[in-house]
Chains A and B, each alone.
Chain A
Amino acid sequence: MNGAPFKNWISYNATARQLREEVLHAPLESILHPSLLRLRWLGAFTLIGHPLFYWIWHYWLPQPYENLWVRCTISALGGLLMLNWFIAEPSQPRTQHLFNAICFIQLPLFFSWMYVMNDRNAVWIASLAAGVLVYFHLTDWRIAAAGSIAGFLLGGAMAMAMAPTADVQPATHLVVLGFGWFAGLMLGISGANLRRERLNHSLATIGIMAHELRTPLSTAGLIADALLIEARRQPEAPRAGKLEKLGQRLSALTRSMNHHIDMQIANARLLQLAQYNDRISARELVADAVAAYPYRSTREAECVEVIVHRDFIFRGARTQFSGVLDNMIQNALRSLQASGSFVSPGDLRIEVGSRGAEGRITISDRGIGIDPAALQRVFEPFFSSDHGTGHGLGLAFCRRVVVAAKGSLRVKSEPAAGAVFTIALPVDSPDNHSDEKENPE
Chain B
Amino acid sequence: MIFPIYRRPGGVVFLDDDPAYLEMLAEVMPEHWPVRLFTRPSECINYLQQEPPELEADSWRHQEILDRWHSGQGLIAQILQYWREAGCWRFGLAQVCVVDYSMPAMNGLQVLEELATWPGARVLLTGRADEQIAVQAFNSALIEQYVPKQASEISRRLTTSIQRLLDEPWGLQAQTWRASLSREQMAVITAPPIARQLKVLADTLRWVEHVVIGDPFGVLGLDDAGQATWLHLEHESRLDDLADLAACGGLSGADLDDIRAGRSLFDGEFQVAIGSDRSGLVTAIPLGHGMLAALTKVPGDLNPGPDQSFARFLHDRGTRPIDDATPLRSAFAHT
Contacts and interface: CB of A to CB of B under 8 A. Distances in A.
Interface of A: 211, 214-219, 221-223, 225-226, 229, 251, 255, 258, 261-262, 265
Q: Is the interface of B mostly helix, strand, loop or mixed?
A: helix
Interface in B282-311: none
Given A215-B18, A265-B129, A221 B27 contact: no
Most chain-A Cβ atoms within 10 A of its Cβ — which of B129, B150, B152, B154?
B150
27 contacts: A211-B129, A214-B127, A214-B150, A215-B18, A215-B21, A216-B20, A218-B21, A218-B149, A219-B18, A219-B24, A221-B152, A222-B25, A222-B27, A222-B28, A222-B154, A222-B155, A225-B24, A225-B28, A225-B153, A225-B155, A226-B24, A226-B27, A226-B28, A229-B27, A229-B155, A258-B152, A265-B128
A25 to B, nearest CB: 22
Contact of B154 (A215, A218, A229): A218
Given A218-B150, A261-B150, 6 more contacts: A218-B149, A218-B154, A222-B24, A225-B155, A229-B155, A258-B150
Interface string B130-168: 000000000000000000011011111000000000000
Nearest to A218: B149
Contacts of B27: 222-223, 226, 229
A226 B22 CA distance: 12
B21 A222 contact: yes
Interface residues of B, number: 17
A262 B28 contact: no
B128 A225 contact: no
Contacts of A262: 128, 150
Nearest to B19: A219
B195 to A, nearest CB: 31
Interface string B1-34: 0000000000000000010110011011000000
A326 to B, nearest CB: 15
Q: Which 9 A-B pairs have the closest CB atoms?
A: A222-B24, A225-B155, A226-B27, A218-B149, A258-B150, A219-B21, A225-B28, A219-B20, A226-B28
Given A214-B127, A265-B128, A223 B24 contact: yes
A214 B27 CA distance: 20
B124 to A, nearest CB: 14
A215 B128 CA distance: 12
A214 B129 CA distance: 11
A211 B127 contact: yes
Nearest to A252: B152
